[in-house]
Every structure is written in C-alpha cells, then in structure tokens.
Structure 1
Amino acid sequence: GKVGGQVGYQIRLESKKSKETRLLFCTTGLLLRRLMDDRDLSGVSHVVVDEVHERTIDGDFLLILLRRLVGRRADLRVILMSATADADKFSSYFGGCPVVTIPGFTHPVECFHLEDALKATGQLIGRGSPYALPRD
C-alpha cells in the first residue's frame, strides 16, 4: 500500500495519514501535543518510543505522561526501545514491567562522501548539477 494508507507519518509541517491509518509514526513533540488535546490517547492501543536512552527533555516528559497514562488505561501497551539503555532502570520506572532482550551485534560502518561514490562508480557531475562545486 501507499504511505498514508494503513501506515502513515506526521511531522511538524507535514502529514501523510488517513482514516485507514493504523500505524502512525510521529515525533515526540507531536505525541506530547496530542496528549495535551486528549490526555487518554483515545483510539491508541500501543505507543512505541524508540531511542529512549537519548534522554531529551521532551522524551523524559513523554515517559512521565505515559507512566501516568498506563495507570489509568490498563489496555494501553507502551514499548520502550533502545540498543544501549539500562533496561532495568526503565522497567523499574514503569512498575517492574517485563524486559525483552534481543541479542544483536554491531556492524562496521564506513563513511563515504559524494566524491568517493563518484570515483567508485565512474560517474561524473555535470556543470549544471546542484552537486557541482562552484569554480572560483
């Protein structure tokens, strides 16, 4: 299907969602704004918060509100995800909720710049390209 059908997203100035949307990706700020308008998150069954270890002000405030919300809505499922967070700390904060650990491994990362890609592929950038460097 198309983005905006069963799966959509919403960011500050752009939205791709519809009445059929069942999974909505959004920013922490937008979720906080929705909580201000609807403190029970009516119609929401699950909230997934990724990268909880980043500990931003908005992220921490969201966790406070979600903890209060699960106290009122036993049907709401909150899933916190992070590759590096102290899971026991977050579990304790949410009343000893279960922790699921999925083993994984890191992959080596290499940085490539446009020049590297051009060299590797033999492609050239034309003078009118927005990627061309200006000549002095």
Structure 2
Amino acid sequence: AETVGDVVGYKVRLESRTSGRTRVTFCTTGVALRRIAAEPDLANISHVIVDEAHERSEDGDFILMVLRRLLSRRDDLKLVIMSATLDTQLFCSYFADAPALCVPGRTFPVRALYLEDALQLTKHCVRPNAEWA
C-alpha cells in the first residue's frame, strides 16, 4: 500500500502531503495559480489535468488562459481538460483546434433527500427530549 504524499500527493490551501518522490500532485485551482506565479514556465511539470472545466469561474478561466499561453512556449507540456458536460467545440477551438476524446457514459438519476425525508422513509420518531432533538 502506498502512503499519501509518496508518489501521489495533494496540496490545498493550508495543507500539503507531498515529498521529493511525489510525481502526481492533486491541487486546487488557487494552489495551481500560485505555483504558476512562482514558476511561470512550470519547468518540472510535464502534464496538467484540469477537471470539471465546465464549472466556469474567474480562477478556472484564468488558469486556462495562462496554460494556453504556456503551451505556446512549451511544446513538451501536455494539457488534459476534463468534464462530463463540457462545450467541447468551444474549448477545442480555444486551444488551437485541440483534439477531443469523448468517452461515452451514462447519467444516473439523483434524488435529493433531506433529514425530514429520511425520518419519514424510516418511520423514525425523534423523542422531544433527546440530546440531538
């Protein structure tokens, strides 16, 4: 079994689990932007994967813009943009007619349940004097 932070690690705002042996680092967009600000060419990075690209945000759009500019200087850098609901044509054209790979899948129905629903479905009665009531 592998330890988190050995070959695969993560970095979030106030926490980091990486080491000198780490080859894959999962991080937030904010952490990635700070890394790019400190190291604009990402010299020791070979691949960048952006997941959930359809969740458009200022940070998300900004990092894609920065990565697009970086790709023009780094032929060896590979960028993978992933999303289940992405406007593929929009992103492919933004990245100089980059190829797209479509992996078929299916969606599953999601039903939101709240505490009241769970109580009703399980026929559970909350005692008025219980600690959690």
Tell me the equivalent position of 1:13: 14
Tell me the equivalent position of 1:31: 32
TM-superposed deviation, 1:97:
0.8
Question: Aligned equivalents of 2:7 and 2:112: distance in 1?
Answer: 35
Alignment of 1:42 with 2:43, yes or no, is yes
Matching residue's letter, 1:13: L
Deviations 1:24-60 (A, max 9, x none): 0000011011101100111111100011111100000
After superposition, residues 51-66 of structure 1 pair within 5 angstroms as: 51-66=52-67
Aligned with 2:59: secondary structure? Answer: helix
Tell me the equivalent position of 1:68: 69
The unaligned stretches of length 5 or more in structure 2 are 125-129
Worse-superposed segment, 25-34 or 103-112:
103-112
| Count of aligned pairs | 128
Aligned with 1:78: secondary structure? Answer: strand
TM-superposed deviation, 1:110:
3.1
Deviations 1:105-126 (A, max 9, x none): 0012233456739x76x9xxxx
Tell me the equivalent position of 2:127: none
Percent sequence identity over aligned pairs:
49
After superposition, residues 96-107 of structure 1 pair within 5 angstroms as: 96-107=97-108
Alignment of 1:4 with 2:5, yes or no, is yes
Give the aligned CA root-mean-square deviation in angstroms: 2.3
Matching residue's letter, 2:84: A
Tell me the equivalent position of 1:93: 94
Matching residue's letter, 1:89: L
Task: Give the structure-1-normalised TM-score.
Answer: 0.83
The unaligned stretches of length 5 or more in structure 1 are none
TM-superposed deviation, 1:80:
0.5
Question: Aligned equivalents of 2:8 and 2:111: distance in 1?
Answer: 31
Matching residue's letter, 2:20: K
Question: Aligned equivalents of 1:80 and 1:70: distance in 2?
Answer: 13
Change (3 A) 1:20 1:114: farther
